[in-house]
Amino acid sequence: MKVNIAVVGLGYWGPNLVRNFVTVPGASITTVCDTNPATFQKIKPFSSIKTVRNINDVLRDKTIDAVAIATPLSTHFILAKKAILAGKHVLLEKPMTQTSIQSQELIKLAEKNKRILMVGHTFIYSQAVRQIKKIIKRKDFGQVYYFDSTRINLGILQKDSNVIWDLAPHDFSIINYLFDTKPISLLATGSHFVGKKYEEIAHIVIKYENNINAYINLSWLSPVKIRSIFIGGSKKMIVYDDIQPSEKIKIYNKRIKTTENNITPFSPAYRSGEIIIPNLEQKEALLTEIEHFVECIQMNKKPLTGGLEGLKVVKLLEIASESLKTNLEVIIK
């Protein structure tokens, strides 16, 4: 069965969804929808795709099986809810919704109406993140100490969210996927300079059970673009540089060793060995994500990044907002 898809929202991200959907054999992209008709020129090369300005025209169309929603965050809940109620499967961009109550409602609605609800946590479909999961599970990586992410550039300031709600969903979803552990506390701090309302720079520290700490540095006001994640282990360390076209992951055989009699590391032993660069399949993460969405619809499978995974991320975002507001570390129950 071919799945007929409509993409809703043709701003920055939507055209990437269209470009990938057209290459998936099991899918046929029939319609795009955007309230701003000027965006339709972005899909000019695909002349057979119908353009509409109102989502109701998509939802009324019985030939459309699924919608991929890439509109601003403040519209996610209402558009996804309408789509599920109209009998469509939904791929909803990150972050899932503005509140966890809304996410819970969408999960229930999708279950009740037997529709696939998937969230666009794209990094979970990247070869690099999947490879990292395998590496840190190996005994020779040792105990994981920290996750240290820098996600900064001169970014597109969002109209309806701060930098945490825009960029942290990537790190939160990666952490949830990589580590089988629960957060204990979260501290977030941030500032705005250009706008009046939404933080443009933020730092987050999350403490997890098993003694893993996550440090996340986010900015829309950086002169250079950096997308790096360092994961430190007791025996090895990983550097993941997502900007690199190839050689995205390097595994460093480096560590600091102290002996029992040497608890204060006055003279620690530094171990420095080879660097391994795993070979990764060159495939766009978004294409893997979209193929998975189509397969979930065709086979009635549970998505890897379904509503519950989306909800987990939204909960962390809410806790980060609470910490920003109170300037306090929030203990997570």
Ligand X SMILES: NC(=O)c1ccc[n+]([C@@H]2O[C@H](COP(=O)([O-])OP(=O)(O)OC[C@H]3O[C@@H](n4cnc5c(N)ncnc54)[C@H](O)[C@@H]3O)[C@@H](O)[C@H]2O)c1
Binding positions for ligand X, rule: CB under 6 A:
8-14, 33-36, 39, 55, 70-73, 75, 79, 93-94, 120, 122, 156
Six-digit token pair at 305? 């990044």
Smallest gap from Cβ 140 to ligand X, in A, equals: 32
Counting Cα atoms < 13 Å in the Cβ hemisphere of 136 gives 25
Dihedral angle over CA of 203, 122, 102, 164, nearest 10: 10
Smallest gap from Cβ 165 to ligand X, in A, equals: 8
Instruction: Pick the closer one to ligand X by CB: 55 or 251.
Output: 55
Instruction: Pick the closer one to ligand X by CB: 51 or 104.
Output: 51
Instruction: Pick the closer one to ligand X by CB: 317 or 324.
Output: 317
What residue type is assigned to position 236 of the chain?
Answer: K
Beta partners for residue 221, in sequence order: 154
Smallest gap from Cβ 54 to ligand X, in A, equals: 7
| Distance (Å, whole) CA 128 – CA 214 | 19
CB-based contacts of 72, cutoff 8 Å, min separation 6: 9, 158, 159, 160
Q: Which residue of this chain has its Cβ atom nearest to ligand X in the complex?
A: 11
Instruction: Pick the closer one to ligand X by CB: 168 or 251.
Output: 168
- For the chain, the farthest-separated pair of C-alpha atoms sits apart, in whole angstroms, at 73
Instruction: Pick the closer one to ligand X by CB: 233 or 310.
Output: 310
Strands 249-257 and 237-241: antiparallel
Smallest gap from Cβ 17 to ligand X, in A, equals: 9
Smallest gap from Cβ 326 to ligand X, in A, equals: 25
